Amino acid sequence: MQPVDVTRGDGPLVLGVPHAGTFVPQEILARLNETGRKLADTDWHVDRLYSGLLPGVTMVRANFHRYVIDANRDPEGVSLYPGQNTTTLCPTTDFDGRPLYHAGEEPDAAEIEARRQAWHAPYHAALAAELERVKARHGVAILYDCHSIRSVVPFLFEGTLPDFNTGTNNGTTCAAPVEEAVVGRTQAAEGYSAVLNGRFKGGWTTRHYGRPADGVHAIQMELAQKTHLATEDTPFAYDEARAERLRAHLGDILGALEGLAPSLARNLQDTQGANHG
């Protein structure tokens, strides 16, 4: 199994999909307990949810499961949310705080590094390459990082999660018009709830690549899974009717971001010209 699949488009948008993969190598799967083998913390069907919404969009999809290694965590293992419950680079507990491995079978530091090289690094090499390619073509690149999670996860957050959770690390990972285009549409989506920089402010991917001053704008969208699944538990089935209703709003968001790219590129050129003037 190759670590990553890239669907290349000629537009300014790159979709990151780090958590929809379900592949676990047999030697790791054998060490997972019943909880681990359920793979419950997958971003179920997120790649399907975004596929075909807008011509020309590039998608970079991790094929491996986040229990192998989490492609949206700092490769150095630094916590994204200090002081809050979260999962690690190579998770040993699930989103409910339950162990994933048989006792004593958790990966050690050497294995974590080997997994990083085999899985995490190739995913990010592919993502970085696509952002560079897109930016060379359009003058800017917009990274939209696609996620989903159960709407009720007491170990990670209180209460019920809003449907749309937009993260820009408090406005630092993209220009204001990018944030406004997304948030405005999530807030206007009838029948849905929305929040900006709530429990999910953007993971390592958004924070690492989001450099608006250099022409790379990054934004994370964490969707509550009830928006597109029939149930947020086994078998995590895709709900066609719910998904199609949601896809209309997601397509509108992606279209708005694509439409912003030329003005973002002009602003970057003007700023760089002024700085060199």
pLDDT at residue 271, as a whole number: 84
- Residue 40 CB partners (closer than 8 Å, separation 6+): 94, 95, 233, 234, 236
pLDDT over 90 (residue 80): no
Supply 215's token pair.
């022409």
pLDDT at residue 21, as a whole number: 98
Cα separation of 193 and 177, whole Å?
21
pLDDT, tens digit, 9 for 90 and up, residues 241-257 = 999 999 999 999 999 99
pLDDT over 80 (residue 81): no
Instruction: For the beta carbon of residue 53, count every other beta carbon within 10 angstroms.
Output: 17
pLDDT at residue 225, as a whole number: 98
pLDDT over 90 (residue 24): yes
Q: What is the CATH number of domain 4-276?
A: 3.40.630.40
Cα separation of 187 and 165, whole Å?
10
Largest CA distance in the chain: 63
Cα separation of 61 and 22, whole Å?
11
Contact 92, 100 (CB under 8 A): yes
Instruction: Break the chain into its structural domains and give their ranges.
Output: 4-276
pTM for the full predicted model: 0.95
